[in-house]
Amino acid sequence: MTDLTTTTGAAVRPAARADPPARRISKHALLIVFGVVMIYPLLWMVSSSVKPTEVIFRDPSIWPREFDLGNYTGGWTALEHPFQHYLWNSAVIAIASIVGNLLSCSLAAYAFARLEFRGRRILFAAMLATMMLPIHVLIVPQYVLFSQLDWINTSLPLIVPKFLATDAFFIFLMVQFIRSLPRELDEAARMDGCGHVRIYWRIIMPLSVPALATSALFTFIWTWNDFFSQLIFLTNPDLYTVPVALRSFMDGQGETAWGQLFAMSVVGLAPIFGFFLAGQRYLTQGLATTGLK
């Protein structure tokens, strides 16, 4: 009997309370141990960032015995520019990408979700196909194009495509969301003589805030983490973003300055962690809805 209730509890959440205590405790123990293993490397990195480099190679514990911010002050100025320079370069690209993605993807999404037009099916299929396309397939000709435009070593190759909705994933995400909004709202607005531009801007966009937030968060995280295209398009050290700067730090002097390298790596992760804490709900919901449709 008890066995049956625990297994049926799979989908009925309140029934889980009927788990026998021993079972509940062992499950939590398992989940906690596993969680600690998962998160231990991160905690250890943060803790090591305040340890002297020699200690990093001896001390596997996550409690630093001494607390020294020297790695942060030293690492901050260890490269050609102070670290805020790289943070700024990354931030400019990330913010421009967010604005670009939100505008261009929502425009396309509105058309796919709300308008009837010739060629819709085929264009929608094309959009889904480009979603699967690896950047590596496009990077060589894109590089040729950008070098002919003289855009190499500017942030334009990283920003302009975002204003032209090249991240089709977000179009898809927004289409799914807009389709779930009641059509009565737009139809009422049509009755009142609203055109599509106004419906898009005044009705659909404000209602789509959750989808826009999800898109903004993912854009930020992906752009902030992006290394491949930044490595290729930005070879001038003045333009280095955080990932490229960290990599040059490691290849340059990092092997002898792990403490500083860790400290700056933590600085590089901090914005993502912050956005994760602030917008976790949107991240997990966005992920779940794309998976279910």
Partner 1 sequence: MSDRTGSRTARSGPRRRETRVAYGFLTPWIVGMVVFTIGPILASLYLSFTDYTLLSPPEWLGLENYQRMLEDSRLHKSLLVTVQYVFVSVPLQLALALGLAMLLNRGVRGLPIYRSVYYLPSLLAGSVSIAILWRQIFGSEGLVNQLLAKVGVEGVSWVSHPDYALGTLVVLNAWTFGAPMVIFLAGLRQIPSMYYEAASVDGAGAVSQFFRITIPLLTPIIFFNLILQMIGAFQSFTQAFVVSGGSGGPADSTLLYTLYLYERGFGSFEMGYASALAWTLLVIIAVLTGLNFLFAKRWVFYGD
Scanning residues 224 to 283, which ones bind partner 1 (CB under 8 A)? Answer: 224-225, 227-228, 231-232, 242-244, 246-247, 250-251, 254, 258, 261-262, 265-266, 268-269, 272-273, 276, 280, 283
Sorted by sequence, the CB contacts under 8 Å of residue 286 that are 6+ apart come out as: 173, 210, 211, 214, 215, 217, 218
Q: Which of 25, 29, 128, 135 binds partner 1 (CB under 8 A)?
A: 135
43 binds partner 1 (CB under 8 A): no
Which two tokens mark 96? 């421009």
Selection from 212, 242, 202 nearest residue 94 by Cα: 242
- Using CB under 8 A as the binding rule, the residues of this chain from 61 to 90 that contact partner 1 are none
DSSP 240: -
Candidates 41, 70, 82, 274; binder of partner 1 (CB under 8 A) is: 41
Find the part of the chain contacting partner 1 (CB under 8 A) among 72-80, 84-92, 122-130, 206-214: 122-130
Taking a C-beta distance cutoff of 8 angstroms, is the pair 18, 6 a contact? yes
Closest CA to 254 of 70, 113, 78: 78
Q: Which candidate, 164, 273, 285, places its Cα nearest to that of 220?
A: 273
8 binds partner 1 (CB under 8 A): yes
Cα gap 99→106, rounded to integer Å: 11
Q: How far apart are CA 266 and CA 53, in angstroms?
A: 15
The pattern of x and - marking residues 185 through 214 that bind partner 1 according to CB under 8 A reads ----------xx---x--------------
CB 118 to partner 1: min, Å: 5
Site string for partner 1, 156-175 (x = CB under 8 A): -----x-xxxx----x----
CB nearer partner 1, residue 89 or residue 104 = 104
Q: Looking only at residues 92 through 111 of this chain, which bind partner 1 when binding is defined by CB under 8 A?
A: 103-105, 107-108, 110-111
- The answer to whether 3 contacts partner 1 (rule: CB under 8 A) is yes
> Could you say whether residue 123 binds partner 1 (CB under 8 A)?
yes
Nearest approach in angstroms of CB 73 to partner 1 is 19
- What tokens were used for 289? 């809805």
Stretch binding partner 1 (CB under 8 A), from 26-34, 63-71, 80-88, 89-97:
26-34
3-state secondary structure of 11: coil
Kindly compute the dihedral angle of the four CA atoms of residues 124, 126, 132, 137, in this order, to the nearest 10 degrees: -160
Shortest Å, Cβ 79 to partner 1: 14
Tokens of 187: 């139809």
Does residue 138 bind partner 1 (CB under 8 A)? yes
Q: How far is the CB of 7 from partner 1 (least distance, A)?
A: 4
Cα 93 → chain centroid? 13
In the bound state with partner 1, the residue whose beta carbon lies nearer, of 3 and 184, is 3
221, 277 Cβ separation under 8 angstroms:
no
